[in-house]
């Protein structure tokens, strides 16, 4: 059986957690391949709400093995905190497997993330303050701490010493913060080693063997296309590869084993943090989307910026990721809006532009060209087939499909697992 990739098409929070959970009972492995506890996925099962940050969303499916791939950055305190919180609610994390090559978020990197943002002032990114950027920077700079380092005290001590030699200069001389004691950092990291050891494997090998044995592997992205470090609105992005290409490097499965790419797309747009957002609304419509859609960050609680659907963004995501199926979420949130604007193209310097502009300047200046679609007033949360949807709602879905570059296979009409309309089997 193949590997399947699931990504976010917009700026995150599209409902990837729910979509992954929906597939959880039909797949054998769910692998988180990028990001860390900057992610926040809310999953609702039988009325019970779970907020996951670091754990793969497949953790709530009994027969599925959750895997944290090498592309993830791990805050060990958060990892064990999440495991304990799940266990306290009667859920098991016993099957969790962690890559020996995943990087660890050291305490100095969380500190650096926060102070850098504070010093950046109006030039800040609006990060989640979880140490994500500095940890990926260390990885690329080849001074990162990996999971496997925790099992060799001498290596760990050497690596933390080398990293802190540099970081302490920055912390104390630039940011006027207290230098950190290397031994204290080593002890803190070592305090997790015994609990972590039984979970750690060569996850690339594990997944290859699973695929050879006919198992289905779902590769689940954190963040989304427009937050991808290469393909998003740089520099207002996260520091990892959140698109389909990143799935392969983030877990060690080659592209030739991937059979399909699912993109989760919200029926309108949201963004958390700074950066351009052409369809952003600053009026009562924006407030309505926020309140009806519950658009507050799962990780930081920040109100999400809200706006209308942006078709060029979805088309871009379809192109960058090679999307085969779209999961369209939160259609129910649009119920009751008399006419629904959809951004079909942009205007830049008086010219119509149909695709995302090449330069950051042009994207920052892009104003949406809207087409308006008639809305519906009927409650759609009970709809389970396309025919159950009001005519105008069906027309809205058909229009989005036509503009968005891939077929819509699932429609979300509420946060619960079963509040979905399945049009095509995602595991075809
Ligand atoms: P993720 O980061 O992509 O996993 O998304 P989040 O969990 O951060 O945000 C999506 C929110 O929308 C969560 O609160 C979900 O429970 C909720 N949600 C997902 N799909 C639907 C849907 O179809 N309708 C409604 N009303 N809520 C949904
Ligand atoms: P999920 O997986 C929405 C945003 C932050 C900030 C930028 C960089 O739930 O979709 P970082 O802490 O990653 O360095 O912050 O990225 N961001 C997210 N926005 N959903 C997320 O994850 C996000 N993860 C990071 O708000 O703008
Ligand atoms: Mg989220």
What's the confidence (pLDDT) of residue 307?
98
Distance between Cα 257 and ligand 1 center (Å): 29
Which ligand number lies closest to the CA of residue 11?
2
pLDDT tens across 339-362, in order? 999 999 999 999 999 999 999 999
pLDDT tens across 201-217, in order? 999 999 999 999 999 99
* Cβ pair 63, 218 in contact under 8 A: no
Residues in CB range of 3: below 8 A, 6 or more apart = 207, 211, 216, 217, 218, 219, 247, 253, 257, 258, 259
* Cβ pair 210, 27 in contact under 8 A: no
Q: Which atom of ligand 2 is nearest to the CA of 130?
A: 12
- Global pTM reads 0.97
What are 63's two structure tokens? 């027969």
* Phi then psi dihedrals of residue 79, to 5 deg: -55, -50
Distance between Cα 182 and ligand 3 center (Å): 34
Distance between Cα 285 and ligand 3 center (Å): 22
pLDDT higher than 90, residue 9: yes
Q: Which atom of ligand 2 is nearest to the CA of 133?
A: 14
Query: Hey, which bits of 289-366 come out as E strands?
Result: 305-307, 309-310, 325-329, 339-348, 351-353
Which ligand number lies closest to the CA of residue 264?
1
Mutate-to-test residue for ligand 2 from 272, 275, 296, 301, highest number of ligand atoms within 8 A of CB: 272
Which ligand number lies closest to the CA of residue 221?
2
385, exposed or middle or buried, with CB in 10 Å at 0-12, 13-18, 19+? exposed
Do strands 339-348 and 367-374 pair parallel, antiparallel, or not at all (unpaired)?
antiparallel
pLDDT higher than 80, residue 323: yes
* Cβ pair 402, 30 in contact under 8 A: no
**pLDDT mean over 249-265:** 97
352, exposed or middle or buried, with CB in 10 Å at 0-12, 13-18, 19+? exposed
Residues in CB range of 202: below 8 A, 6 or more apart = 99, 100
* Cβ pair 388, 380 in contact under 8 A: yes
* Cβ pair 237, 11 in contact under 8 A: no
Question: Rounded CA gap, 212 and 230, in Å?
Answer: 31
What's the confidence (pLDDT) of residue 300?
83
Question: Rounded CA gap, 268 and 309, in Å?
Answer: 4
What's the confidence (pLDDT) of residue 428?
76
327, exposed or middle or buried, with CB in 10 Å at 0-12, 13-18, 19+? buried
pLDDT higher than 90, residue 1: no
What's the confidence (pLDDT) of residue 75?
98
* Cβ pair 58, 29 in contact under 8 A: yes
**pLDDT mean over 152-177:** 95
Residue-averaged pLDDT of the chain? 96
Do the domains spanning 3-101+199-262 and 264-422 agree at the CATH topology level?
Answer: no
Among the four given CATH numbers 3.30.420.40, 3.30.460.10, 3.90.1150.10, 3.40.440.10, the one describing domain 3-101+199-262:
3.40.440.10
* Cβ pair 295, 328 in contact under 8 A: no
Q: Which atom of ligand 1 is nearest to the CA of 17?
A: 4
Do strands 325-329 and 351-353 pair parallel, antiparallel, or not at all (unpaired)?
unpaired
Peptide bond into 384 cis (omega under 30): no
Name the CA radius of gyration of the chain, rounded. Answer: 22
- The fold of 103-194 is Adenylosuccinate Synthetase, subunit A; domain 2 (1.10.300)
Pocket of ligand 2 (CB under 6 A): 8, 11-13, 38-41, 125-128, 130, 132-133, 222-224, 227, 238-239, 272-273, 298
Distance between Cα 225 and ligand 2 center (Å): 11
Distance between Cα 163 and ligand 1 center (Å): 38
Q: Which atom of ligand 1 is nearest to the CA of 297?
A: 8
Q: Which atom of ligand 2 is nearest to the CA of 132?
A: 14
Q: How many Å from the N-terminal Cα to the C-terminal Cα in the chain?
A: 11
pLDDT higher than 90, residue 197: yes
Residue 41 appears among annotated catalytic residues: yes
In the chain, what are the domain boundaries?
3-101+199-262, 103-194, 264-422
Beta bridge partners of 410: 327, 422
Sign of the torsion angle spanned by Cα atoms 222, 34, 400, 45? negative
* Cβ pair 1, 208 in contact under 8 A: no
When pLDDT is cut at 50, 70 and 90, the band that residue 393 belongs to is: very high
**pLDDT mean over 47-57:** 95
Q: Is 66 in the pocket of ligand 1 (CB under 6 A)?
A: no
Question: Rounded CA gap, 144 and 146, in Å?
Answer: 6
pLDDT higher than 70, residue 25: yes
What's the confidence (pLDDT) of residue 298?
82
Write out the DSSP string of 384-412: -SGGGS-HHHHHHHHHHHHHHTSEEEEEE
pLDDT tens across 98-142, in order? 999 999 999 999 999 999 999 999 999 999 999 999 999 999 999
pLDDT higher than 90, residue 171: yes
* Cβ pair 69, 33 in contact under 8 A: yes
Q: How many residues does the chain have?
A: 428
Least confident of 287-291, 295-299, 325-329: 295-299
**pLDDT mean over 277-298:** 96
What's the confidence (pLDDT) of residue 55?
97
Residue 21 appears among annotated catalytic residues: no
- Higher pLDDT residue, 317 or 299? 317
Distance between Cα 15 and ligand 1 center (Å): 4
**41, 53, 103, 231: which one is catalytic?**
41
- The fold of 264-422 is Adenylosuccinate Synthetase; Chain A, domain 3 (3.90.170)
């Amino acid at each position: 059986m193949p590997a399947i990739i699931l990504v976010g098409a917009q700026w995150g929070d599209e409902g990837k957690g729910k979509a992954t959970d929906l597939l959880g009972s039909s797949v054998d492995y769910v692998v988180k391949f990028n990001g860390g506890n900057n992610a926040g996925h809310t999953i609702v099962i039988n009325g019970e709400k779970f907020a996951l940050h670091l754990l793969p969303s497949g953790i709530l499916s009994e027969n599925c093995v959750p895997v944290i791939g090498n592309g993830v950055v791990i805050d060990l305190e958060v990892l064990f905190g999440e495991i304990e919180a799940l266990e306290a609610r009667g859920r098991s994390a016993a099957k969790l497997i962690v890559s020996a090559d995943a990087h660890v978020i050291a305490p100095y990197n969380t500190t650096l993330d926060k102070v850098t943002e504070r010093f950046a002032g109006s030039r800040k990114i609006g990060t989640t303050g979880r140490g994500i950027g500095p940890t990926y920077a260390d990885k690329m700079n080849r001074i990162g701490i990996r999971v496997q380092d925790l099992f060799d005290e001498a290596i760990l001590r050497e690596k933390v010493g080398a990293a802190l030699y540099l970081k302490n200069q920055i912390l104390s001389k630039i940011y006027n913060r207290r230098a950190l004691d290397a031994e204290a950092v080593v002890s803190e990291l070592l305090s997790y080693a015994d609990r972590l050891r039984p979970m750690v494997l060569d996850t690339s090998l594990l997944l290859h063997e699973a695929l050879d044995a006919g198992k289905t592997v779902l590769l689940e992205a954190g963040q989304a296309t427009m937050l991808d470090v290469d393909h998003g609105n740089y520099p207002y992005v996260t520091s990892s590869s959140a698109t389909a290409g990143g799935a392969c490097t983030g877990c060690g499965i080659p592209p030739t084993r991937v059979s399909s790419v699912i993109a989760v797309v919200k029926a309108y747009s949201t963004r958390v943090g700074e950066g351009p957002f052409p369809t952003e609304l600053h009026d009562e419509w924006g407030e309505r989307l926020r309140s009806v859609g519950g658009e507050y960050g799962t990780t930081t609680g920040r109100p999400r910026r809200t706006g209308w659907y942006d078709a060029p963004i979805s088309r871009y995501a379809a192109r960058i990721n090679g999307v085969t199926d779209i999961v369209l979420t939160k259609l129910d949130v649009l119920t009751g809006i008399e006419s629904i604007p959809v951004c079909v193209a942009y205007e830049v310097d008086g010219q119509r532009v149909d695709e995302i502009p090449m330069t950051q300047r042009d994207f920052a200046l892009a104003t949406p060209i809207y087409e308006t679609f008639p809305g519906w007033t009927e409650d759609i949360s009970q709809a389970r087939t396309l025919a159950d949807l009001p005519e105008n709602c069906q027309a809205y879905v058909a229009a989005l499909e036509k503009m968005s570059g891939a077929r819509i296979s699932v429609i979300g009409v509420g946060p619960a697992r079963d509040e979905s309309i399945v049009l095509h089997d995602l595991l075809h």
